[in-house]
Amino acid sequence: MVIVEFLIKLSQGFGIGALALATGLLFGGIARKIMARIQRRYGPPFTQNFMDLFKLLSKGSVSHGWAFDLGLVAGFVPMLAALMFLPIGPFTLFPSDSSLIMIVYLMMMAYLGMAMGVLASGNPNSAIGMSRALMLMAGYEVPFAAVIFSIYFFSKTGYLTQIVAMQSGGFMNWNIVKMPLGFLAVEIVLQGMLGEKPFDQAIAPAEIASGPMVELGGKYLGFGMIQHSVALFLETGIIVDLFLGGAPNFWIFIAKQFVLYFVVVLVDAILPRLRVHEATSFFWKLPLFLGILQAVIVIIQGGVLNV
C-alpha cells in the first residue's frame, strides 16, 4: 500500500513539476512577446522558451568539476520540491506540510545550490554577479517576511492550504482586500524576486558577462532556466494563495498568476535598472515600511493571542 501511495504521489508530483515548468516557460515566452510589442518589435514565438530549453539540454557543455555540477542541480531541484507543498488551485500534494516558511526556506536552498555551482566555476565575474544577487535577496526577503508574518498572525495558521481556505467565499474574503498594503509590498517584492527591472542587476541579459550565468552553457544554462521558470510559477503561486484566495481550479489559478506576472512585466518594461545597493536600500524603505505598517494594522485589529 505504501508503495502504491508513493507511486501515486510520485506521478502526481512529476505532473505538478511538469505543469509548473510548462507554465513558467509559457509565461516567459508571453513576457518576451509582450516586451517585444511594447518595444514595437515582433518578438519570438510564445513557444520560444520551450525550444530554448530543449536546445540547451541537448547541447554539449563545459563543466568546472563536481561542485559545479552538484551546485547547479541543487539550484533547481529544491524549487521543484517546494512546488509539492504549494496549493495549486484546489490541489495540494502534501496538504499537511504546506507550511509557508518551510517553502520559503526550500527556495533559499535553491539559491544556495545555484550560488555554489556558479561560484565553483571560478570566474570572478560570476562571483560579482552572485554577490549582487545575494545582496538583492537580502533586500527583498525582509519586507516579504514582514508580510508573511502579518498573514501568519492574522490567519492564526501557517498552512498555505488553510490560508487559502480562509479566503474562500468571495472576493471580499481575499487577503488583498483585508491587507492591501501587504499586497502592495509583496507585489514590489515579486519584482525583485523574479529579477525584473528595476531589480534585474544580477540576471539582466545585458549583464550576462558580469552576471552569475557567465560560465553557464548547455544543460547548465538549461538548469538555470528551469529554476527561473519554476520559481516564477512558485512565487506567483504563493502570492495567489496568500492574497488572491487561491483558485477553485487550475486554470483560474494560472490566470491569477498571469495577472500578477503581467503587472510585473509591465513594470519591467517601463522602469530602468537601479544600482544594486540602491535596490537593496529601496527594499528596506518603501516595501518594508508598507509591510510593517500592515503588520501594525493587523496586530491592532487582531489583538494579541494569549498563550
Partner 1 sequence: MSSLLALLLVPVTGSIVAAIIQRYRLAERLVSFSTFVVTLLFLIDIRVGDAFTWSLGFLGKNIEMGLQITPLSIFMLYMTIAFGVLLTFFDLTERSKMKSFLLLLTLAASNWIFMATDFLSFFFAWELMGWASILAIFGGRRTAESRHGALYYAMMSIGGSYSMLIGIFLLSNLTGSFSIQQNVSYLVSIMTVHPWWVLGIVSMFFVAFMVKSGIFPFHTWVPYTYGESPDGFVPYLSSVMSKYGIYGFLIFLPLTLSLRNVPGVLGLPWPNYTLVWFGSITAVVGSVLAFMQDDVKKLFAYSSFSNLGFILAAIALFTPIGLTAGLFHAFNHLLFNGAIFITVVAVISKVGITRMSEMGGLWQKMPLTFLTFFVGIASAAGIPPFAGFGSKWMIFQAMISHGLIFATVLLFFASIASFLYLMRAFHAIFLGQLSHKYDNVKEISAIGKITEVFLIGALIFFGIFPGFILDPINSIVGSFGLKPLPTSGYEYINGFFSSVNMVSIFIVVIVAFIFGFLLFAVSAKHKKVPQEDNYTAGQIPKDWNLTPEMYQFSYDFYEPMDKEIAPFLKIKIDGFFKGFGDSVEYLGSSIKEIFTGNVQIYTYLAIGGLVIFVIAGWIVW
Stretch that binds partner 1, among 123-131, 190-198, 232-240, 242-250 (CB under 8 A): 123-131
State the DSSP code for 92. Answer: -
Q: Which residues on adjacent β-strands are paired with residue 159?
A: 99
Tell which positions 173-212 bind partner 1, by CB under 8 A.
Answer: 209
> x-or-dash pattern for partner 1, window 220-239, by CB under 8 A?
x-xx----------------
Cα pseudo-dihedral 289, 156, 249, 265, rounded to 10:
10
Tell me whether residue 209 or residue 259 sits nearer to partner 1 (CB atom): 209
By the 10 Å C-beta count (0-12 exposed, 13-18 middle, 19+ buried), 52 is classed as middle
As measured in angstroms, the least distance from the Cβ of 56 to partner 1 is: 8
Q: CB under 8 A: which stretch of 42-50, 57-65, 178-186, 243-251 binds partner 1?
A: 57-65
Residue 239: Cβ within 10 Å count: 24
State which of residues 19, 35, 127, 266 lies at the interface with partner 1 (CB under 8 A): 127
Residue 128 lies near partner 1 (rule: CB under 8 A): yes
Annotate 221-264 with DSSP letters as a single string: HHHHHHHHHHHHHHHHHHHHHHHS---SSHHHHHHHHHHHHHHH
Q: How far is the CB of 266 from partner 1 (least distance, A)?
A: 28
Cβ proximity to partner 1, 38 vs 102, nearer residue: 102
Q: What is the pattern of x (binds partner 1, CB under 8 A) and - over residues 69-88?
A: x---xx-xxx-xx--xx---
Quote the radius of gyration of the chain (alpha carbons, Å): 19
Among 187, 207, 215, 235, binds partner 1 (CB under 8 A): 215
The Cα–Cα gap between 76 and 82 comes to 10
Q: Considering only residues 19, 30, 35, 135, which one is a binding residue for partner 1 as defined by CB under 8 A?
A: 135
Which listed range, 29-37, 41-49, 181-189, 298-306, lies at the site for partner 1 (CB under 8 A)?
298-306
Q: Is 297 in the site for partner 1 (CB under 8 A)?
A: no
Residue with smaller CB distance to partner 1, 64 or 273:
64
Number of other residues whose CB lies within 10 A of the CB of residue 63: 17
| Whether the Cβ atoms of residue 222 and residue 57 lie closer than 8 Å to each other | yes
Closest to 197 in 3D by CA, of 276, 290, 107: 276
Is 48 a binder of partner 1 (CB under 8 A)? no
- Cα separation of 292 and 179, whole Å? 12
Q: Cβ of residue 305: shortest distance to partner 1, in angstroms?
A: 6
Is 260 in contact with 187 (CB distance < 8 Å)? Answer: yes
Rule CB under 8 A: which of 241-270 touch partner 1? none
List binders of partner 1 among 276-295 (CB under 8 A). Answer: 276-277, 280-281, 284, 288, 291-292, 295
Q: Coil, strand or helix: which one is 68?
A: helix
* Closer Cβ to partner 1, 147 or 240, answer by number: 147
Residues 6+ positions from 174 with CB-CB distance below 8 Å: 167, 243, 244, 245
